Amino acid sequence: MSLSQDPAPLSPPAAPGDPRLTDARDTGRWSASELRRLTALIWPGQLLVVAGIIAANSQPQIAQHFHTTQIAWFSLAFTLATIVATPFAVRLGDMYGKRRVMLALAAAGLVGDLVTVAAPNYPVMVIGRVIGGLYGPVAVLVLAAVRDLFPPRKVAVALGTVAGSVGVLSMLAPLLSGWLLDAFGWRGALWFLVASTVVAILALLAVPETPRRAVAERLDRSGALLLGGGLALVVFGVGQGRDWGWTSAAVIASFLGGLTALAVFVTVELRVANPILDLRMLGRRSLATVLLGSSVPQAAFFASQAILIFLALFPPIPHVSDGLGWSTTHNAVLGIPAGIITFAAGIGVGRAVRTVSPRSVWYMGLGVLATGLVLAGLYHHDAAQIVLTGLVMGLGGGILMAGQQAMIVSVVSAEEQAAANGLSSLLTQVFLALTNQALYTVLAADSTVFHGTAFYHDAAFTHAYLTMAAVVVLGLLISLAIPRLGRPADTAAHDLATPPTTARTA
């Protein structure tokens, strides 16, 4: 899809009697068109969750098929492409409309999926994953589009539903993944992802275009390349550190190159008139503390999911491995209750922040998640313990994912929504890469290598869960600096009555 079409007009400020202001005072009942719109946004926004689970579970078969020891590039290539593409996508979404940009990114992702599934060799497959990674920013744009497409009173619930739906998908995707891989092999699983991307494109076609939030002007390509390239180099260095050695010349060069690019990016962006990401936004205490305080614990929550995979699926071998030896399907079934409560928590947060400060809800989520991780570190030896601790972690994780969006809505204007979500996504991805590295380092400290594979002792799982709990506590300490926040519905209603050129002060 071309981005050269005439962009949608800038959305005018709402005047008295504007239907958007009327919606802000409505009874909260949802119309059929709003429900269709919400449903259409869920799959494109959460496809990355399903794709990530299926792709991760496909890697062992792919590595054996292509006889490669570089299987890490299967996921790393996708992540790096997403990091580079995100700042471009956010800016283009503001300039040309988010729906148009999401369709273009989804089309590119479909091409990448096709190259990946039909790849005759592993290097071609990695190229396909790079192209497929261009779909990544769609998740950011979906969340930003919610604010443009729903009345202010319903924004928080819509965001909570879209964000919380990850719980249901995380519950079903492992079951689906196991069936696809067992019945059709890795190519069958990847063909399912091709079909899923097609469905996402069809869903986006049913979504109205969003207002243009920025004048079509010269794109800050240098800023985007410095930001994307700098972050990509840092993440690359983290990803290769364990294999190449943290003091190797290549890893050190990656870190130095990435940090230098990021330093130049900050200098350049503070001087240009129309930056790819407005770093001046971070000069506001409210936004800076919300983005940093929410990205750190979310990274810990996502990283902690890998602990259960090793714990549940690795076999029990005396003096070698303390895994539980479950099948993928059995593990997925036991994860269903946690998935349900994660989804329910997301919807509950959307309703709660109508009357309760999102900051208070956020603190509760951090406390619940940290408690769940500590309990999981102490009690993870049978199915009952896994289910019960999973419920606590799922509740905390659901509150966090939906609560983050409620806080962002409370501290930015509608015009800043996409940029704020872009910053949040980039920070979360960077912290996730760092947290994953810490996780694998902790696990390796209590492991035994047997026939070329690292197996983990019980102490490794305990220390890994406690480490993730410590990261969540770090996020809580950062979050204590978040100032008092308004309710999302009140904030959104204020935006409608304020001209788009009016900046909100901290």
* Plot region of 338 (φ>0 → left; ψ -120 to 50 → alpha; else → beta): alpha
- 341-364 per-position pLDDT tens digit: 987 887 788 788 878 888 999 999
Q: Calculate the CA 117 to chain-centre distance.
A: 24
Poorest-pLDDT segment among 26-35, 294-303, 477-486: 26-35
Burial of 160 (0-12, 13-18, 19+ CB in 10 A): buried
Q: Return the axis-axis angle of helices 138-149 and 152-164, rounded to nearest 10°.
A: 150
Tokens of residue 26, six digits: 């409505």
The end-to-end CA distance of the chain, in Å, is 38
List C-alpha distances in Å: 408 to 28, 355, 385, 443.
Answer: 21, 17, 35, 34
Residue 102 CB contacts under 8 Å (≥ 6 apart), including other chains? 44, 93, 138, 141, 142, 145, 204, 207
Amino acid at 473: V
Mean of pLDDT values over 273-285: 76
Mean pLDDT, residues 27-52: 80
Contact between 369 and 400 under an 8 Å Cβ cutoff? The reply is yes
User: For the residues 171-176, what does the mean pLDDT come to?
Assistant: 79
What average pLDDT score do residues 362-381 get? 96
| pLDDT tens, position by position, 92-114 | 888 888 899 999 999 999 999 99
C-alpha distance from residue 445 to each of 201, 305, 314, 422, 441 (Å):
44, 19, 17, 35, 6
pLDDT of amino acid 503: 33
**Average pLDDT of 417-427?**
75
Contact 141, 418 (CB under 8 A): yes
79 confidence band (pLDDT: 50, 70, 90): confident
Under the banding of pLDDT at 50, 70 and 90, the label for residue 223 is confident
Mean confidence (pLDDT) of the chain: 80
503: Cα separation from own chain's centroid: 27
Confidence (pLDDT) at 312? 82
Q: Which residues contact 59 (CB under 8 A, 6 or more apart)?
A: 71, 74, 75
| Report field, pTM of the whole predicted structure over 0.75 | no
Task: Give residue 480's pLDDT band: very low, low, confident or very high (50, 70, 90).
Answer: very high
DSSP category for residue 317 = E
More confident residue, 430 or 2: 430
Look at 8 and 197; give whichever has higher pLDDT. Answer: 197
- Determine the Cα angle at 208 with ends 203 and 214, to 5°: 120
**355 vs 488, more confident:** 355
